[in-house]
Amino acid sequence: MKLERVEVVHIALPLVTPFRTSFGTMTTKDTFLLHVVTDVAEGWSEFAADPEPLYCSEFVAGAEIVLRDFLVPRVAALPELTAAALAPAMAKVKGHELAKAALETAVLDAELRAHGMPLATYLGAVHDRVPAGVSVGIKESVPALLDDVERYLAEGYVRIKLKIEPGWDLEPVRAVRERFGDGLPLQVDANTAYSLADAEHLRRLDAFGLLLIEEPLEENNLHAHAQLQKRIATPVCLDESLHSARDTASAIAMDACRVVNVKPARVGGYLEARRIHDVAHAHGLPVWCGGMLETGIGRAPNLALAALPGFTLPGDTSASSRYFAEDITEPFVLEDGHLPVPRTPGIGIEPLPEALRRFTTARRDLYG
Ligand code: OSB
Ligand code: MG
């Protein structure tokens, strides 16, 4: 393949309801799509982070510069363009996994379309649909939270994740357990809001039979997470702290996590995401697919990944309607608590031109 053009398409989609986490409140999905044109096919991807570096160090405006000045030129210089060649070509640029993932995914989409192969087939998927969980933000009150959870359960979601932070943890978890019973698959996500000094407090969550507690402590502090795991029974799951298969191997060796959240963007793309799956699965750890409130362009490839055999827990891969009244792609619709795995070549979806136009805020060529 030969790279002919790379374009960024900035978009802003209103969320159906504000999403509050321990690091901030989101009311719009404000990011960019990457559109890659090669001599044989075109590809699309979605940059997963936000305009502000609050979940991770990367952010929309910075990623565009990193892509334009450092990543795209290295990829354009490749004598033969393949998705597998991208990570080595970009390796000297430190970090910026989410920007790298966007470029790799768009090139992989084009490459697989040229071969007529769906991403799910390429990755080794073994399911044609995947169970859907839902991530529920911090609410203004416990009754408001219970209403939201009730609505999601009525829609068919098979697992609930509650966002927590100091002051919003034991009480909402207790209320959800009391209302919906011990059989409800339930987990929590702190997005780094606690410190090891909170270990005794977090231990009180053990009473509620949670599937896991996600990223309770500061990002990249594997040692502290291992110390916490010694003191609590709830399995620790890492999100922000895992950037590669190597990190994952270290975390597992240290018992810093017993469950793995894979977000392809956070780890540099789908090739590394599959390696993380392989490492965790080989150690017997459950893996699940996280989310970043993606449009259909980011959701489709996540569903392909979530169909691999080691993804034994429901992911945050919810239906399009949980996020947007209208998406820029055909929506993913929940059916019997599951979402379908795309089965057409590449990521298996593309923007609907008219909808994309309406939600586009800017377009710029980065190359070609
Ligand atoms: O920590 O998993 C997270 C959303 C944005 C940034 C970080 C996270 C999340 C979610 C929602 O929990 C996942 C989703 O529904 O896409
Ligand atoms: Mg998380």
Tens of pLDDT, residue by residue over 121-145, are 999 999 999 999 999 999 999 999 9
Signed CA dihedral, 340, 345, 346, 351: sign only: negative
Catalytically annotated residue among 29, 161, 163, 230: 163
pTM of the model: 0.97
Q: Give 291's pLDDT tier (boundaries 50, 70, 90).
A: very high
Predicted local distance difference test score (pLDDT) of residue 223: 98
Q: Give 285's pLDDT tier (boundaries 50, 70, 90).
A: very high
Tens of pLDDT, residue by residue over 205-258, are 999 999 999 999 999 999 999 999 999 999 999 999 999 999 999 999 999 999
Distance separating alpha carbons of residues 107 and 77, to the nearest angstrom: 14
Which residues pair with residue 360 across a beta bridge? 11
Is 29 a catalytic site residue? no
Task: Tell me, in angstroms, the distance from the centre of ligand 1 to residue 76's CA.
Answer: 32
Give the mean model confidence (pLDDT) for residues 306-318: 98
Predicted local distance difference test score (pLDDT) of residue 198: 98
Predicted local distance difference test score (pLDDT) of residue 271: 98
Predicted local distance difference test score (pLDDT) of residue 77: 97
Cα angle: 98, vertex 295, 350; to 5 degrees: 100
* Nearest C-alpha neighbor of 350 from the set 122, 124, 37: 37
Give the mean model confidence (pLDDT) for residues 71-79: 98
Query: Residue 185: CA atoms inside 13 Å, Cβ hemisphere, count?
Result: 17
Predicted local distance difference test score (pLDDT) of residue 113: 98
Predicted local distance difference test score (pLDDT) of residue 362: 98
Q: Which of 28, 292, 294 to mutate to test the pocket of ligand 1 (most atoms within 8 A of CB)?
A: 292
Atom of ligand 1 nearest to the CA of 322: 15
All domains of the chain in start order, with CATH? 3-116+352-367 (3.30.390.10), 120-340 (3.20.20.120)
Tens of pLDDT, residue by residue over 21-48, are 999 999 999 999 999 999 999 999 999 9
Q: Is the CB of 38 under 6 A from ligand 1?
A: no
* Nearest C-alpha neighbor of 66 from the set 31, 96, 90, 104: 96
Q: Give 304's pLDDT tier (boundaries 50, 70, 90).
A: very high
Query: In the numeric block, which tokens belong to residue 205?
Result: 């969550």
Give the mean model confidence (pLDDT) for residues 106-122: 98
Tens of pLDDT, residue by residue over 328-358, are 999 999 999 999 999 999 999 999 999 999 9
Q: What is the largest CA-CA distance in the chain?
A: 61
Q: Is the CB of 135 under 6 A from ligand 1?
A: yes
Predicted local distance difference test score (pLDDT) of residue 280: 98
- Residue nearest to ligand 1 atom 14, measured at CA: 291
Predicted local distance difference test score (pLDDT) of residue 30: 98
Predicted local distance difference test score (pLDDT) of residue 340: 98
Signed CA dihedral, 172, 174, 177, 179: sign only: negative
* Look-up of token digits 């950037």: 243
Q: Is the CB of 192 under 6 A from ligand 1?
A: no
